Copies of this chain bind each other. A is one copy, B any other.
Amino acid sequence: MSRVCLVGVGLIGGSLGLALREAGWEVLGVDPDRASLARALEIGAIDGAVELEEGASRAELAVIATPVEEVIPTCRKLLPALARDALVMDVASTKCAIVQKAEEILPGRFIGGHPMAGSEKGGIDAADPYLFENAPFVLCPGTGVDSKAIARAEELVRKVGAIPIQMTAQEHDEVVGMISHLPHLCAVALLDTLTGLEQKDQAMQLAAGGFRDLTRIASGSPELWRGILGSNRWVVAQLLGELQKSLQKSKEFLEQGDLTGLTAQLAKAKETREKLPARRKGLLGASYELLLSLPDRPGSLAKVTAVLAEAEINIQDLEILRVREGEGGTVKLSFASDQAQQKAAERLRASGFKPVLRHE
């Protein structure tokens, strides 16, 4: 059993605590917000609430789960109290600036971490022991961190159900700049454009659904994102420049009526999109899907899940694609293997459903 000092018990810290305690680790919680700390104790995310010095001296591993601006000040506070051989990790969304400074403060003892899981909701009340299950968890060891220390960080990652992926802080920041920070600013710009529209009210009314889903990321806390974007600002600014070039190309194709050029651009994007690993492909295996139209009567979804449960077929994912007033709609079921998909299709057909097979 290992003992971890968790500094910060918000969504990420609280979820780590819940998952680590479920895995049998001891978790000491530190947070200046007494209410969050009390709640963390109440929901079982920590074994006990302690002061930073006590936590630092008793733990083998300290995990900093504070807002990004607090990571370096926390490293400084941890240093004098830290037990010999104890390792320090953080879980902030950008890594270059943090790893560079933290390894100066804690030479050979700091590993930058970034669990790529989250929720629009923040705070200890949104904590979830399954938050990290199957999520990539990037580790960026500082220079001079030995393989034994890396193995310990990887152990923590695996204990919470995540998949450790090692890369440099520079690599990490470009990657998350691309797949997280840039889309965030795209969503912000879309909403900005909407606000300035003449037909704003009608557009808002019809924006429910797809547009709303697309801009969900922009509902994150501005204060939190200020920290994230600010700490990766040069990378993101450069990515914005590249994005603008592509948008400018589209704009010129449209203005010049060059629909052949536009089509080529669209086709290239489609090709890239199709190369993206499916949700559980690559890291987590492929996904085999069934589409099913359900009649609009109570219990029809229950019937589907019961048929599959009875046959002991695991549903990897279930999504209601189009919803009608009642319970039904078109449902997408995903399975981990084509055998499971085939077996599910057979059983559902035998029960009167008409599944359509799909593989992505």
Residues of A within 8 A of B (CB): 116-117, 119, 125, 128-131, 133-134, 136, 138, 161, 165, 167, 171, 174-176, 178-180, 182-183, 185-199, 202-220, 222-223, 225-226, 229-230, 233-234, 236-237, 239-244, 246-248, 250-251, 254-255, 257, 259, 262-263, 265-270, 272-284, 293, 298-299, 301-306, 308-309, 312-330, 336, 356
Contact = CB atoms under 8 A, between A and B. Distances in A.
Contacts of A133: 322-325, 329
A218 B257 contact: no
A193 B273 contact: no
B214 A183 contact: yes
B315 A301 contact: yes
A235 to B, nearest CB: 9
Given A206-B116, A319-B319, A324-B134, A250 B240 contact: yes
Contact of A192 (B189, B197, B265): B265
Contacts of A134: 322-325
A193 B302 contact: no
Number of copies of chain A assembled together: 2
A336 to B, nearest CB: 7
B247 A244 contact: yes
A130 B192 contact: no
Given A208-B279, A217-B210, A262 B192 contact: no
A212 B180 CA distance: 11
Q: List the 7 shortest-distance A-B pairs measured between CB atoms, nearest first.
A: A302-B309, A299-B309, A222-B266, A302-B305, A189-B246, A192-B246, A188-B269
Contacts of A259: 226, 229-230
Nearest to A328: B130
Given A186-B186, A210-B180, A316 B305 contact: no
B262 A230 contact: yes
Contacts of A255: 233-234, 237
A275 B281 CA distance: 35
A266 B218 contact: yes
A243 B193 contact: yes
A302 B262 CA distance: 47
B254 A236 contact: yes
B251 A247 contact: no
Contacts of A303: 309
A180 B124 CA distance: 36
Given A129-B293, A175-B203, A327-B316, A272 B195 contact: yes
A183 B197 CA distance: 15
A104 to B, nearest CB: 22
A174 B199 contact: yes
A218 B270 contact: yes
A208 B282 contact: yes
B274 A251 contact: no
Contacts of A179: 194, 203, 206-207, 210-211
Given A205-B277, A219-B273, A182 B188 contact: no
